[in-house]
Amino acid sequence: MKNLAIMVSGRGSNMVNIVEETKKGNIKGRVKVVISNKADAPALEKAKAYGIDTYTVLQSDFSSKSEYDKKVIEILKGYDIDLVVLAGYMKLLTKEFVDAYPNRIVNIHPALLPSFRGLDAQKQAFDFGVKIAGCTVHFVDEGMDTGKIIAQRAVIVDEEDTVESLTEKILKEEHKLYPYVVKLLCEDRVIVEENKIRIKEEDSH
């Protein structure tokens, strides 16, 4: 069993999905703690309803990004966390944070990276006129959506799609992809090679 931490800033639908899959036993891990950088993130109440410990850590209470992340790392260490799952966490991580959890921090981004990094990725893709959009789960480094890609899922952009309908289509895929990747990580099946990530087959006995 791996100990998971989920970091959020908002709604928390990906968080809820992952918690549900751990409860069903589909993910060999348990969500020990949820940390938010926003006091009013709806995800916090949702996490509490599952009996998960929650923390709000506000940047305004710290003199620098580095001091902020030190506090977050201190909380994570207290729970003996194996994997940090960013789920709508709208804050870049410092090098200290990334180095504290090498290849053990993941994020989901609502676009097919390396296209459309940053905010409003679905709108960026829609406005660009792409015919295929999607989502990406990747390891996190200090950059904005720049870490190594673990897995992606695509959706077709139909003529009648709007930004809203496309966002919804992508979110549906996010809800399948993220628990799947977290499951793989909890089973140590994500192998990091020099330039890419390989997924190990499931043991067949």
Chain residues binding ligand GRF by CB under 6 A are 10-15, 87-88, 108-110, 171, 174
Of the pair 67, 168, the CB lying nearest ligand GRF is at 168
* Single-letter amino acid code for the residue at 178: Y
Rounded least distance, CB 170 to ligand GRF, Å: 7
Of the pair 70, 142, the CB lying nearest ligand GRF is at 142
Of the pair 10, 26, the CB lying nearest ligand GRF is at 10
Rounded least distance, CB 29 to ligand GRF, Å: 18
Of the pair 109, 169, the CB lying nearest ligand GRF is at 109
Rounded least distance, CB 201 to ligand GRF, Å: 27
Q: Which residue is nearest to ligand GRF (CB)?
A: 88
Rounded least distance, CB 15 to ligand GRF, Å: 6
Residue 198 Cα to chain centre, angstroms: 19
